[in-house]
């Protein structure tokens, strides 16, 4: 299934994408798509006659496909070629940090460049969405705890992240820095999550080209590893790292300016499009 949330910010309704690409309204069946739905409600959705659900008008805004995200966790330097382009050593264990859940926006919403920012950057990433409480799980069973996957643009402010001291989260959780979607694709629709093509363009110019097959730590390892340091709850999101081609790695470095348009996608998970806009007080 491809689950969506549609409508104006703060007033999104749950939906489902049918085989023709039409969004069908689920608000008569579900209150929302959140951790509780993922933990207990997916089987109910599979039994629905989708074609009898009301169609949502084409062009309706898509919100993030998941409401009330509790933990928004990210994995740093999880592609060897990305680590190399930034001059970092290949990690021996996953590098975990937090993105603020409050930074999550829809897949095509505008992204705000923070006040005073000079180094706002892009990162196409595969995001894991947890469907069952997970604590101390083994890697060979870790994917059983995953409800599905979606695209994340792990927008980053490199000065805040690297040059301002402390944790990376300073440059990772600014408002609108977490576009998710367009869909939450349930695990059963992804034949091999470790073999998905990834891409990102800026103003139509190719920047990132990669594949989940070149991750240093695969999705099963990431879920298992993270569950040894915290309890993962249904609806938690883990974004898993980016392939090479980020602005920080360009020679010279290249960062985003107001008016820039970023488009990105992952095989089987859809596409995003964001216009980057200046901070407005």
- Whether the predicted model's global pTM rises above the 0.95 cut: yes
> pLDDT by residue (tens digit) across 97-151?
999 999 999 999 999 999 999 999 999 999 999 999 999 999 999 999 999 999 9
Q: Give the chain's length.
A: 281
Read off the pLDDT band of 88 (50, 70, 90). confident
Mean pLDDT of 201-207: 98
> pLDDT by residue (tens digit) across 4-15?
999 999 999 999
Read off the pLDDT band of 89 (50, 70, 90). confident
pLDDT value at residue 42: 87
Read off the pLDDT band of 80 (50, 70, 90). confident
Mean pLDDT of 13-20: 96
∠ at Cα 266 (254, 2), nearest 5°? 140
> Tokens 């062009």 sit at which residue?
59
Domain architecture of the chain: domains with CATH: 2-52 (no CATH), 72-278 (3.90.850.10)
pLDDT value at residue 83: 83
């Amino acid at each position: 299934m491809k689950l969506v949330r549609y409508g104006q910010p703060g007033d999104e309704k749950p939906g489902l994408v049918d085989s023709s690409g039409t969004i069908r309204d689920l608000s008569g069946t579900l209150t929302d798509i959140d951790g509780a739905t993922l933990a207990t409600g997916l089987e109910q959705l599979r039994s629905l006659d989708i074609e009898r659900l009301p169609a949502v008008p084409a062009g309706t805004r898509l919100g993030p496909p998941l409401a009330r995200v509790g933990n928004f966790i990210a994995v740093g330097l999880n592609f060897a070629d990305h680590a190399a382009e930034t001059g970092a050593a290949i990690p021996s264990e996953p590098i975990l940090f937090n993105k603020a859940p409050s930074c999550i926006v829809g897949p095509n919403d505008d992204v705000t460049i923070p006040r005073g920012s000079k180094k706002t950057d892009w990162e196409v990433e595969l995001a894991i969405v947890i469907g069952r409480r997970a604590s101390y799980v083994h890697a060979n069973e870790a994917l059983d705890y995953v409800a599905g996957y979606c695209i994340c643009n792990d927008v980053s402010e490199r000065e805040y992240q690297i040059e301002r001291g402390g944790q990376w989260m300073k440059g990772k959780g600014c408002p609108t820095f977490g576009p998710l979607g367009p869909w939450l694709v349930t695990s059963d629709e992804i034949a091999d999550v470790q073999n998905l093509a990834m891409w990102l363009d800026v103003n139509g110019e190719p920047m990132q080209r990669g594949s989940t097959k070149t991750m240093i730590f695969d999705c099963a390892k990431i879920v298992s590893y993270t569950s040894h340091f915290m309890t993962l709850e249904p609806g938690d999101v883990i974004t898993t790292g980016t392939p090479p081609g980020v602005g920080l790695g360009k020679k010279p470095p290249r960062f985003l300016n107001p008016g820039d348009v970023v488009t990105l996608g992952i095989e089987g998970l859809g596409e995003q499009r964001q216009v980057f806009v200046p901070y407005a007080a």
